[in-house]
């Protein structure tokens, strides 16, 4: 079995709350401060799962979706 075959069938579990937040997010960069505390906790979980990327820009933090 080739690595490409394994990676194409590899899925990351996302609960309903995480999925709703992901669907409501735009494709581009968004400031993390635009979200409330609960949403930021969910976003941090998605960053740990490598579904979102954290971008630090001189004191401000942005997030961006990884290609899904």
Q: pLDDT, tens digit, for every residue of 4-53?
A: 666 667 788 899 999 999 999 998 999 999 999 999 999 999 999 989 99
- Residue for token pair 């505390």: 37
Give 26 or 67, the one with higher predicted confidence.
26
Give 54 or 5, the one with higher predicted confidence.
54
Round to whole Å and give the CA distance between 44 and 65: 12
Q: How confident is the model at residue 68 (pLDDT cuts 50, 70, 90)?
A: low
- Three-state SS at 41: helix
- Residue for token pair 């581009």: 28
Tell me the CA end-to-end span of the chain in Å, nearest whole number: 23
Round to whole Å and give the CA distance between 32 and 64: 10
State the pLDDT at residue 1: 57
Round to whole Å and give the CA distance between 59 and 55: 10
């Amino acid at each position: 079995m080739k690595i490409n075959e394994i990676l194409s069938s590899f899925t990351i579990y996302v609960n309903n709350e995480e999925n709703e937040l992901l669907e409501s997010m735009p494709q581009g960069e968004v400031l993390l401060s635009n979200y409330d505390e609960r949403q930021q906790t969910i976003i941090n979980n998605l960053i740990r799962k490598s579904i979102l990327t954290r971008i630090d820009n001189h004191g401000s933090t942005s997030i961006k979706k990884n290609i899904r």
